[in-house]
Amino acid sequence: MKVGDHMASYEMDKKNLIKVGNEIITLKKLFEVIPVSVVLINRKGEHILDSKVLLDINNSEPHALVRHKVAELSKEDANIIERDFGLFDQNKTVPAHDLAINNKTYKVVVAPLRNDSGYAFAELAVLTDITENKNTEHRLAKLNEQLKQLASRDGLTQLLNWYSYNDICNKMIGLARRENTSFSVMFIDIDHFKKVNDTYGHAAGDTVLREVADCIVENCRKTDIIGRVGGEEIAVYLPQTDCHDAITLAEKIRIYIEKEKFDAEGTLINITVSIGISNDKPYYQTIADIKKDADAAMYMAKSNGRNRIEHL
């Protein structure tokens, strides 16, 4: 029998006595009063000693877990213990890990108990309640995601803002170049939008702009990149789309908006849009390159009577 196997078999004899001044206590008694969650486990995965705090965590009676294997509660935890002893035998450090118990999260730190020969006959695990820390991390992660969303979106239309739209489109153009696929861009501008603001007020103008943006989103594909790039200007990047398909989609959007009734402070009004289109050309390297032509095509549509589509 190896030195230390007495502990592994949970034989509480005189070797388990600890002298503190004139008082003598047992290791068992020490575990009962220690104010932290601690468990001593042998190589078979059996509980040898448990602190009262640990028993409270598991809603267990005193000694209820002693001599019971961890595998009876969790096969996954049993595998972790088996891994721990494998690392101990290689003189490696066991990484801390998180453990969920009764809707709470605990950080588990373990250390080997070795005999004089260096053989790890048991492991001591200390559990620290980090539930609140984890909840805080989750709240912060959620808040960061919300802030990221706000930073990348236009507050009125919820479309991508100018910066995010440009950034994503430049990456998409790079991808199109690598994969040798086509792309197009639509530049959409609301006709006589200033008149809407002057007649019905800026609140009504905001409502109309938001509803027009919704119409565009509703008619575009999920793969299309849509951004508000100016006051009443909305740009749409169309991946894997040639000139013919881009014009078809633009016409669909133009007709849809023309037939829609928009609420301007309680008054239903008609709105039209002018759309400029430009599709992939060899010298387009960034969204700024293609935007120039799409923008010029849009102004051509306005010059030619509005509520129409032009292509460059």
List active site positions. 232
Whole-angstrom distance, CA of residue 70 vs CA of residue 76? 9
Q: Counting Cβ atoms within 10 Å, is residue 164 exposed (0-12), middle (13-18) or buried (19+)?
A: middle
Sign of the alpha-carbon dihedral angle for 251, 255, 258, 262: negative
Whole-angstrom distance, CA of residue 279 vs CA of residue 192? 26
One-letter amino acid at 262 equals F
240 token code pair: 């894997």
Whole-angstrom distance, CA of residue 220 vs CA of residue 209? 17
Nearest to 243 by CA among 276, 285, 215: 276
Whole-angstrom distance, CA of residue 295 vs CA of residue 185? 10
Q: Contacts by 75-83 with C-beta closer than 8 Å and gap 24+?
A: 78/45, 81/41, 81/45, 81/123, 82/45
Angle at 305 between CA 274 and CA 258, to 5 degrees: 50
Rg (C-alpha) for the chain, rounded Å, is 34
